[in-house]
Structure 1
C-alpha cells in the first residue's frame, strides 16, 4: 500500500481565493519544515523520550512518558482549535499517512506526527462560517470528559463494569426526561446517535403492542420526518410501504386532519399501528409538528407516540422557548440529541420514556454472564447496544459547565442569529425562505426550473465557500435549497452580513 493517500475533502471551487490569513502547508516538504508554528515538531525538546511510550498506563504509579504524550496530544488539539479561523471550515487538500500498521509499532513522536496529518484534513466545526449542519463546536468540558472516558475505559454494558457511570447515566436521563415533562418516574438510556434512539423507540413500541410477529403493522409520520425511520423499519424487517408518510402543511407541520383520517381508516381496516412519529425540528426547515393535537389523537386511538426531538428537544430547556414544545411531555418516547446545539462531543443522544422499564421489557436478555444489577438494571438491558462507552460523562460534565443559564444562552443566541439572517435575506425579493421556529433557515430563488435551481445552489455555495462561509445544499420538495444552521456561537453579525451580500451578488434564474 502507498505510504500516503491524497484526497480532496468536500470540494471547494474557488476555495482560498479570499482566504484571510492562512493556508495549508505543502505537506510534500519534510514534515518538520511543513508544520506551521506553533505546532511542536516531532523531534523538538518537548518530546522527552516519547519513543519509549508505554503501551498501557502502569497500574502502580504515574508514568512521566505517558503524561508527556498526553500533554503533547492536548497541545496539538489546542493549537488546531486555536487556528480554526485562519484555516476556514473545510480543508482544501490533505495527505494521509498509511492506514496499515507497520511491522514494528511506532513511538510517541511518530504517532503524534501521523495524528497531525489526519488533523490537517479535518472539518472545522468551530469556524465562524461553519453553518452547514447541526455540528456546533465542542464544549471544552465535553472535550476533557471524552478523554477521561477513554482512559477510564468503563463499559456501560453492566454495572460492575461501570459502577459510578451506570448510576450517572440513570440519574441524568431521569433529570433530562423530567425537564422535558415526561414525569417523575421517567428515564431512559444514552445511545450512539438519534438514528439508533429512533430505532430503539420503534422496537419498544412494537413490543409494547405485542406486534413482533405482525408483518402488516405500520408506522405513521410526515413527509418531512427523518430518513432514519426508513432504516429503522428495514432493520425491523418491515417492508418500505409500512412507513406511511402523511403530508405537511405550508409550515412544514404534519397535517393533523390527515393523521386523524388515516388512524380511523387503519382502525376500520384492522391494520395495527406500531407508532405515530411526530417531529420536533425537521431537518431542512426546523418545523415542529403540532404535538398536543397529535398526542390527543394517539391517546384516542391507543397508539404509541414517539417524538423525534433530536433537533428541537433541547429548546424545551430554555424557559421562553418551552411553549414551542407543548405536548412533548405526553409522548411515550422521545429522542433528543444534545450534540446538535449544546456542544456535547459526538455522539450524544438520549432515548427517554415516562416508563423506562419498557426498555428492559423490550431488550432484556438476562445477561447470564453478568452479576445481577444492584441498581435499576444493567445498561445492556436497556437497548440494542451491549458494550457501550460512557458517553454520558461528556453530557454530564458539559451540562454542568453550561448551567441552566448557559443552556438558555446557547438556545437564545442561535435563535437571534437565525432571526438576523432571516431579516437580511428577506430584503432580497428574489428569494423564497422556508421559515421555522428553530435555528435553521433554508432558501432558494422564487422561480426557475429544477435544473436552474440546482445550478444556482451549487454556484452560490461555491461562492460562499470562497468567503469561508459553509452552507449545505439539501433537497426539499424535489428542489435544491441552501440551508444555514445558526447554532455556532462563534458566528457574528458581520459573518451573516457577508453571507447575505454573497447571496445577493449571485444572479438568480
Structure 2
C-alpha cells in the first residue's frame, strides 16, 4: 500500500473530526480567542493525517471567530457553511482557471456568473468581465484597463489623472502607484462628513485639469469606513460631460443587486466604464473572491486580453484576460452558495441588516454616551464615545475591555482628524437584542475607562 493510499484510508475516520471543528466555528459566541497558542515547530518527520484533528482544534481555538454575531467590526464574516464545505471540494479538485481544460466546469460557471451579475445589476448585454483574487487585484485590473491596459502599454501614463473621494479605499491609491502614477496625478476629492463624494468638488477638479489630461474618476458604492454610497448617477453625468473613465468601487455595496428595497443606490451604475464587486464581503463566501466588470467585450479583449499559446482550443481560456495567470475556482463556491440560498433569501438578509443598522443608529442617538456621526446608508455605523478622541488611546482601552469581556467587539477607524468606533453589521444571526447589548457593553466599558 502506497503512502497516499494509506492517507486516503484515514479520511473517513477524520471526517467526523473535521465536521466537529467546523460546527464549533459556527456555534462559537466568543468573537476573539482567549489566547493565541504557541505554534509547534515544523517537524522533520511528519505527524500524519491522523494528527490533523489536533491541528484543526489548535487553529480554531487561536483564531478570531467571524461567525459570532458579537464580531461586528469589519467587512468580514464567516462564509455560509455551504460555501465553506464547497471550498474544500474546490481545493481538492484544484482546478486552474488559467486553462479551460484544467477547469471545464469552473470556466463555464465563471462565464455564467459574469452574465448573471450584469443582469442583476441592470448593466445591459454589452457588459462582461472576469473574476480576480480579491478586491485589490480587481481594482488594479479595472484601473489598468482605464489607462489602456496591454493595448496602451507603449503610451506614457503621465497624462492620466486619478480623481477619487477622500473616503476611497487605500488599495486604489496603491494601484495607481503600481501603474506608474506619481502623487500629482492622484487627487483626493472632498466628501461630506459621511464620506460621500461631493459632485460639485469633483466638477471643479475636472474643470481645472490641464489640457490633454485623461481623467479617471472613482465613485464608491459602500465606503470602507462609513458604508456610504456616492451619487453614482451624478458622477456618471460629470464623467460623460468631461470625457472621464468612471470606475465604481462596489466591492461591498454590489450585493445590493439582490436587495428588495434599496436598489435605488444602483442608479447610474450602467453608465460606468468599470465596476468591481466583492462577494467575500456580503455574499458569505470565503476570501478572496472578487469580480471586475467592464463595459464592452472589445474593451476587455483590447485592454485585458493576451493570447495563450501554451494550449490551443476552440473555446477561449479564462486566463487569457486579466493580470493573473493561475487562479482558483472561487466562482464555483459563489455559485454553490447562490444555488443553496437563492437570491431572494440573500436579498432579505441584506435588507434586514440595513434595517438593523438604522435601528442601531436610533439606539446610539438615545444614548447619553455614544454619539453617531452619520446616518447610515447601508450596514455600517460610525460613532464617537463621549468627547472627540484625537489620539485613539481611550478608544483602544475601551476596545481592550470589550475583548476581555468576550462579547461585543468593534473596530477603530480614523476619519480625518478623529478616531472613531466602527460597527459593521454583517452577521445573519444579528438581532435587535444584540444591538441593545452592544450599547450596554460599550457604555459600561466607557465608564470603566473614564
TM-score after normalising by structure 2: 0.92
After TM superposition, the structure 1 stretch with the greater mean CA deviation from structure 2, 429-438 or 347-356, is 429-438
1:56, CA displacement in angstroms? 7.0
1:347, CA displacement in angstroms? 1.6
Does the alignment pair 1:263 with 2:206? yes
- Partners of 1:337 and 1:442 in 2: how far apart? 22
Distance 1:409 1:99, change over 3 A: farther
Question: Per-residue CA shift, 1:133-182, capped at 9, x if unaligned?
Answer: 11122112111210110111110001111111101101111111221122
Among 190, 195, 198, which residue is 1:252 paired with? Answer: 195
* Superposition CA RMSD, Å: 2.2
Which residue in the other structure is 1:177 paired with? Answer: 118
- Partners of 1:191 and 1:356 in 2: how far apart? 17
Which residue in the other structure is 1:158 paired with? Answer: 99
Alignment of 1:306-317 (within 5 A): 306-317=247-258
Contact 1:136 1:342 in 2 (8 A): no
Question: Per-residue CA shift, 1:82-134, capped at 9, x if unaligned?
Answer: 3x12xx1111212244352x322331122332232122111101112010111
Does the alignment pair 1:450 with 2:390? yes
Which residue in the other structure is 2:168 paired with? Answer: 225
Which residue in the other structure is 1:355 paired with? Answer: 296
- Partners of 2:319 and 2:133 in 1: how far apart? 13
Alignment of 1:76-155 (within 5 A): 76-82=21-27, 84-85=28-29, 88-100=30-42, 102-155=43-96
Distance 1:418 1:444, change over 3 A: same
Contact 2:66 2:76 in 1 (8 A): yes
- Partners of 1:305 and 1:56 in 2: how far apart? 54
- Partners of 1:79 and 1:446 in 2: how far apart? 37
Which residue in the other structure is 2:284 paired with? Answer: 343
Contact 1:129 1:495 in 2 (8 A): yes
Which residue in the other structure is 2:135 paired with? Answer: 194
1:359, CA displacement in angstroms? 3.0
1:369, CA displacement in angstroms? 1.1
| Poorly superposed stretches of 4+, deviation over 6 Å | none
- Partners of 2:389 and 2:78 in 1: how far apart? 37
Which residue in the other structure is 2:358 paired with? Answer: 419
Does the alignment pair 1:438 with 2:386? no
Distance 1:157 1:363, change over 3 A: same
Contact 2:280 2:286 in 1 (8 A): yes
* Structure 2 residues without counterparts, runs of 5 or longer: none
Which residue in the other structure is 1:75 paired with? Answer: 20
Contact 1:182 1:353 in 2 (8 A): no
Task: From the CA coordinates, give the structure whose radius of gyration is larger.
Answer: 1
1:255, CA displacement in angstroms? 1.1
Which residue in the other structure is 1:395 paired with? Answer: 334
After TM superposition, the structure 1 stretch with the greater mean CA deviation from structure 2, 475-484 or 208-217, is 208-217
Among 203, 225, 241, which residue is 1:284 paired with? Answer: 225
Among 344, 349, 361, which residue is 1:405 paired with? Answer: 344
- Partners of 1:109 and 1:419 in 2: how far apart? 49
Distance 1:365 1:433, change over 3 A: same
- Partners of 1:346 and 1:499 in 2: how far apart? 27
Among 206, 209, 234, which residue is 2:177 paired with? Answer: 234
Distance 1:251 1:133, change over 3 A: closer
Which residue in the other structure is 1:39 paired with? Answer: none
Alignment of 1:42-81 (within 5 A): 54-55=3-4, 64-81=9-26
1:476, CA displacement in angstroms? 0.6
Count of aligned pairs? 444
Among 394, 400, 409, which residue is 1:462 paired with? Answer: 400
Distance 1:346 1:265, change over 3 A: same
Contact 1:337 1:350 in 2 (8 A): yes
TM-score after normalising by structure 1: 0.82
